Amino acid sequence: MSVRTLRSPAVARNPQVVWQERTEGEGNEGWLRRAMQGRQVETGPAWSLLLLLGGNDPLSFRLRVAQSHVRHDLSPSAWSHVVFVPEVGRTLADSPTREVSLAPLTSFGPYGFPLPTNGLQEGRLGVYLDEDLFPNLALLSVPVPTAHIAESLAALKWQRSVVDVPELILRWLGYCWGVGVPHSPLADGIGIPGAALMEAAFAARGFDLTPGLESRSSCPEAIWQAASWWHGFYQRTQGGRAIKGVFCSRHELVPDALYGGSPAPATPPAPERKRRSKPRRK
């Protein structure tokens, strides 16, 4: 299985996407607030805020593993989800979000029927402030007015002909739940729903969110690689402005307890002692 990707011509990472270590005892809210106050990201109306998340639960880790074929070393991605934050609220927890989650708090709609919004969900940032569940964070500022992306997402709610998000949701749930003998939908050119919808929203405004990957195969890892390595491309095409960002990714495996715990390993039997044969008397 392989996913066709383009390699960036850049010889160095984007110097405007920087590591920010967590301070002792610092949670996600404190980390994000410090990133914004330090002006390492742009929060003004001329920029759009995207939050990449790396979940620590089984479904998130399945998504992270699926994106390993987008990485040159085939290691799992640090990211499992992407969220658009149209504005920063009075408190970070109350900040509105636009996303396509595969595990929404209110399910996918009443009566087991999806809402007629092409998979787009509206929520609050507070869902992602638990550092135990979401240890990996990357806050990115994309040089496109946030109002433009909000308008594009509002239009895409009624345009399944552009990107059929419910179809993507079903394919990825089948993979993540282990239905049948699934393989990563990325190999079939089927992007992770939230990233695919964001890709379409930015493309409608003339911005290629994942220049190294086919648009239909968009995923959080591809967005991360664009932010990290395609800064030269953006500077040439976006009036000298590239993606800015700050991140912290510990890239932990899923704790065994979240899978219900593995059975204790069987204790191997003690090796039998070899009996020494007595020498025969002559």
Strand arrangement of the beta sheet that strand 81-85 belongs to: 17-19, 244-248, 136-142, 48-54, 81-85, 96-99, 121-124
pLDDT tens-digit readout, 129-177 = 999 999 999 999 999 999 999 999 999 999 999 999 999 999 999 999 9
CA–CA separation, 166 and 172 (whole Å): 10
Per domain, the residue ranges of the chain are 17-255
- How would you write the pLDDT of the chain (282 residues) with one tens digit per residue? 566 667 787 888 999 999 999 998 899 999 999 999 988 899 999 999 999 999 989 999 899 999 988 887 778 899 999 999 999 998 999 999 999 999 988 777 777 777 789 999 999 999 999 999 999 999 999 999 999 999 999 999 999 999 999 999 999 999 999 887 678 899 888 999 999 999 999 999 999 999 977 667 799 999 999 999 999 999 999 989 999 999 998 765 655 556 555 455 555 555 555 555 455 554
Instruction: Return all residues near 43 (Cβ < 8 A) that are at least 6 apart.
Output: 36, 49, 88, 141
Question: Are 156 and 194 within 8 A, CB to CB?
Answer: no
Question: Are 118 and 162 within 8 A, CB to CB?
Answer: no
